[in-house]
Amino acid sequence: MSSGGSLSTMQRLVEQLKLEAAVERIKVSQAAAELQQYCMQNACKDALLVGVPAGSNPFREPRSCTLL
């Protein structure tokens, strides 16, 4: 019966919402600060961000040609 189906769907939805409502949250200011800190700490290793010494990026160096 369709009404039985939507009843159990609603019950599941309510249970799911209760679960999500109970999640522990932190303030955006704190979360944002930590995202920023991660960026700063790892910036030096990020080749696409800061570039790497010439020759050490395998895609940037000129390709060697194989002689057949």
Token pair, residue 65, equals: 């040609």
Is 2 a binder of another protein (CB under 8 A)? Answer: no
Question: What is the nearest approach in angstroms of another protein to the Cβ of residue 51?
Answer: 8
Rounded to a whole number of angstroms, the CA Rg of the chain reads: 26
Candidates 25, 53, 67, 68; binder of another protein (CB under 8 A) is 25
Is 21 a binder of another protein (CB under 8 A)? Answer: yes
d(CA 6, CA 65): 66
Binding to another protein in span 34-63, by CB under 8 A: 34-36, 38-43, 45-49, 52, 57-60, 63
d(CA 38, CA 40): 6
